[in-house]
Every structure is written in C-alpha cells, then in structure tokens.
Amino acid sequence: MTDTLSDGALDQLFRTARTYNGFIDKPVTAETLRQIHDLVRWGPTSANCSPLRIVFLTTPEAKERLRPALSSGNLAKTLAAPVTAILAYDTKFAEHLPRLFPHVDARPWFANPDVAFETAFRNSSLQGGYFLIAARALGLDCGPMSGFDQGKLNAEFFPDGRFKVNFICNLGYGDPSSLFARSPRFDFEDVCQVL
C-alpha cells in the first residue's frame, strides 16, 4: 500500500468533488448502496466499534417521511434526490464488541454514558467521512447536510431511541447546474502546525 493515487482519483475524491444540490434523472442501484457499505465497513474506528447505522431512502414515500424534519432550504432538493441516506449512530454499539473486537471484552470501556456518547458520535462521524469518500469513489455525487430537526427525524425513524441521527446525505449523479461557486479553503499555514 505504498502507491499514491492518481491525480484523477484524488480529484474525484477531493479536489474537484463538490456538494451537489441537484441530481440528474439517473437511478442509484441497490447494488451501489451495498458497495458503499462494503467500503465503509473497512475504515478504522475506536476498538472497531463501528457505530454507524444507515437508512437509505430510495422511494418518494420514504423521503416524504423526512418532510416535517427538514429545513425549508433542504426540502425540495432532498425530495428530488435519487437517494437520501440517514447516517445515524447506535447508542448501544458496545453490545456488538464481543463480535467486532473479540480478543478482549471492551464493553466496560464504554459503560460511562458520556464516554459511550462521545465514542458513538465521534466514530459515526468518522465513518460518515468514509461514506462520502466511498460514494465518490463509486462515481456518485453527495449532498451532505445538517439542516434538519434532529428530534423530529429521530422520532420518525428511530422511535425506540437506540439510534440517533448524525447527518443526512443526498446521493446521485450530480447536476452541474445545481452547484454554487466554489468556496475558498484554508491554506496549510492558516490551520496547521508542525512541531
């Protein structure tokens, strides 16, 4: 694993990748959604805890359930997207550690509710980054967002309270006409230190 990715691959994943607000009329297959997960699951997490849970909304009826929770600016583009993924975390992820981290009983490490929350949220966010990169690697465009009412979304999709939404992401094949002008980014010297 010492090869550097090609410039084309780096562009697709990072440099020319954009947050899309609209998508062309081309479906995303169920097989592609499975391929996203197959890539995401290999990304490292603390104690291999893997707290991310994903609900893929692929029908108008399923996405309509989001309507009460979405901000007005995110409503139309989400209802029109081929797929909307709800990226959530399992608050009881530690129950799965005997399977995922079998060489030691790590469940006591997360007995403190504050530690469990921080671990679930941090690692599901990390896995959410893997999700975006995996989708882009498979040729999809992404529209991640946090403009929603968390309480309403959790009540609709996770009423037992075990899972909690982290963020949502529209997926499809991007319509370039939906893009805003590219926003600036920080330079290395603005945000990095080498000690």
What strands lie across the sheet with 52-57, from one edge to the other?
A: 52-57, 83-90, 163-172, 141-145
The answer to pTM > 0.75 is yes
Cβ 169 vs Cβ 20: under 8 Å: no
Supply 110's token pair: 């997360």
Residue 45 burial class via C-beta count within 10 angstroms: exposed 0-12, middle 13-18, buried 19 and up: buried
Q: Count H helices, E strands: the chain?
A: 8, 4
pLDDT at residue 87, rounded to an integer: 98
Measured from the Cβ of residue 120, the count of other Cβ atoms closer than 10 Å reads 26
Instruction: Find the helix packing angle between 30-40 and 113-137, rounded to 10°.
Output: 130
Q: What is the CA radius of gyration of the chain?
A: 18
Strands 83-90 and 141-145, bridge-based pairing: unpaired
pLDDT at residue 4, rounded to an integer: 94
Which residues, 6 or more positions from 26, have their beta carbon under 8 angstroms from its beta carbon? 82, 172, 173
Residue 176 burial class via C-beta count within 10 angstroms: exposed 0-12, middle 13-18, buried 19 and up: exposed
pLDDT at residue 1, rounded to an integer: 66
Nearest residue to 172 via CA among 139, 137, 147: 139
Nearest residue to 166 via CA among 100, 134, 120, 112: 120
pLDDT at residue 56, rounded to an integer: 98
Q: What domains sit in the chain, N to C, each tagged with a CATH number? A: 19-171 (3.40.109.10)
Mean pLDDT of successive 10-residue segments in the chain (195 residues)? 90 96 97 98 98 98 97 96 98 98 97 98 98 98 96 98 98 95 96 98
